[in-house]
Structures are given as C-alpha cells and as structure tokens.
C-alpha cells in the first residue's frame, strides 16, 4: 500500500520511513513537512494511508485532514501526536481520521494501525480510548456548541497563524490575500469568538487544539 508521511520534524519522518520500509506491503510515496504540503501531496500522489501529525505549523493536522478528505474522500488517515488532550483527539476524529497513535507508542502500534485503517477499521492507542471514555462519562447532558465550529476553514487557518506569532504581512503573503483583508478577517474572528486581543486568541487556539506550544 502507498503511504504518505506528514510531520514537521525531519527526524520523525526518517524514523517512520525506516520502520515502514521494512514492511513488505508498504511503500513510502512522499513526505510532507507541514499541513499545506500534505494536502498538495495527497491530491497528487493519492496514497492509501496518510500518517498525519496533529501539530504542524502553517496548517495543522486537523485542518489538513479536513481538506484532504474533502478532495480525496477515499484516503485513510492516522493521526500522530505526542498529545492525548481531549481537544486534539476529538477534533481529529471529527475531522475524519480512522486512527490515532501516540508518538510514545509509535513503533509498537503504527504498523497495526496502518493495517487496521487500510481495512477501513478504527485504531486508537489505549490511552486515547481512556480519554474518550472519560470524556463521555463526564460530559454534561447539554453540551454547548464549540465556538470554533462557527469559523470557516480559512478563519481557523488564520487563527493558527496568528497564534504562531506571524505578522499581518506574513499571513497575508502566505494566504495570498492583502494585509487589509487579513485585518478584516482577524476582526471577524474576534467578533465570532467574543475575544478581543491576540493574547487571548493565542490561548484559545492552544486550548482548542488549533496549535500547540511546540511544533
């Protein structure tokens, strides 16, 4: 089966390639260093399975997963993360991943996870299962809708870039829009979320799993 690896750390991609190339039924067809590249390569290479790091700069794994599945709905995606925070887990599952493997268990579980999702089955690291069970048990009867659900894909990407410290000019250049449009979109995001400072936006983005303190 054809596999695409998306992770912003070169040493992780190298380790994954070394592990998976030992498998007779697996072929690494591409590597991506951020979510935007993952989307482009997924559309071009049409891999059977994509290993998608959750926390990547420019476009995180959550957004990249949504975009990939919108363009190539037959792709099977495994989330790869060092985090078992409920926001990361739930948002990746809602985005459409079939698997979620923690980096701390990577070499023990990844091959099993790939075979499972290739067969259109789910695979979750045991710690992730614990998180989901705990979330279900502790969930109130009435759950308020996530405010970030009101944001468009472009607004979520812009919020991530803001939280990662990029300037208005840098964001405008990366998204191929004018600085004026970027400022207008930032104000719209703030109005939707009821947050009116970049510092609070950054805290919100980290709390909701749009970005992290480390990439």
Single out the residue of 20, 120, 30, 40 nearest to residue 74, CA to CA. Answer: 120
- 142 pLDDT band, cuts 50/70/90, is very low
> How is residue 210 written in tokens?
């749009």
Is pLDDT above 70 for 149? Answer: no
Each residue's pLDDT tens digit, 86-124: 778 888 988 999 999 998 888 889 999 999 999 999 999
Region of 46 (left: φ > 0; alpha: ψ -120 to 50; beta: rest) is: left
- 201 pLDDT band, cuts 50/70/90, is confident
Q: Report how far residue 124's alpha carbon sits from residue 81's, in angstroms, rounded to the nearest whole number.
A: 12
Question: Residue 59: its pLDDT value, please?
Answer: 92
Mean pLDDT, the chain, whole residue set: 87
Single out the residue of 82, 204, 107, 75 nearest to residue 147, CA to CA. Answer: 204
Asked if 109 and 125 count as a contact pair (C-beta separation under 8 A), the reply is yes
Tell me which of 27 and 89 has the higher pLDDT. 27
Averaged pLDDT, 124-150: 66
All structural domains of the chain, each given as residue ranges with its CATH number in brackets, are 2-131 (3.40.50.2300), 147-207 (1.10.10.10)
**Residues β-bridged to residue 5:** 31, 51
Q: Report how far residue 210's alpha carbon sits from residue 202's, in angstroms, rounded to the nearest whole number.
A: 9
> How is residue 13 written in tokens?
């991609």
Averaged pLDDT, 174-194: 89
Q: Report how far residue 104's alpha carbon sits from residue 84's, in angstroms, rounded to the nearest whole number.
A: 11
SS (H, E, C) 55-79: CCCCCCHHHHHHHHHHHCCCCEEEE
Provide the whole-model pTM. 0.71
- 192 pLDDT band, cuts 50/70/90, is confident
Question: Residue 58: its pLDDT value, please?
Answer: 87
Averaged pLDDT, 49-63: 93
Is pLDDT above 50 for 60? Answer: yes
Single out the residue of 169, 153, 190, 177 nearest to residue 70, CA to CA. Answer: 153
Question: Residue 146: its pLDDT value, please?
Answer: 55
Q: Report how far residue 52's alpha carbon sits from residue 12's, in angstroms, rounded to the nearest whole number.
A: 12
């Amino acid at each position: 089966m054809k596999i695409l690896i998306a992770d912003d750390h070169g040493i992780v991609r190298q380790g994954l390639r070394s592990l998976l190339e030992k498998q007779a039924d697996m072929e690494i067809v591409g590597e991506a260093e951020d979510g935007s590249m993952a989307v482009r390569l997924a559309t071009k290479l049409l891999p059977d399975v994509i290993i998608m790091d959750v926390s990547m700069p420019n476009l995180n794994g959550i957004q990249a997963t949504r975009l990939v599945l919108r363009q190539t709905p037959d792709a099977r995606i495994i989330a790869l993360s060092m985090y078992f925070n409920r926001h990361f887990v739930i948002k990746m599952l809602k985005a459409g991943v079939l698997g979620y493997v923690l980096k701390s268990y990577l070499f023990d579980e990844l091959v099993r996870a790939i075979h499972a999702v290739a067969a259109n089955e789910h695979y979750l690291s045991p710690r992730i299962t614990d998180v989901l069970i705990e979330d279900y048990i502790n969930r109130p009867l009435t759950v308020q809708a996530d405010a970030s659900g009101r944001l468009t894909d472009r607004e979520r990407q812009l919020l991530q870039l803001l939280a990662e410290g990029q300037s208005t000019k840098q964001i405008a250049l990366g998204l191929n829009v004018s600085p004026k449009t970027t400022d207008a979109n930032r104000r719209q995001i703030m109005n939707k979320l009821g947050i009116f400072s970049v510092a609070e936006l950054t805290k919100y983005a980290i709390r909701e799993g749009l970005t992290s303190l480390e990439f």
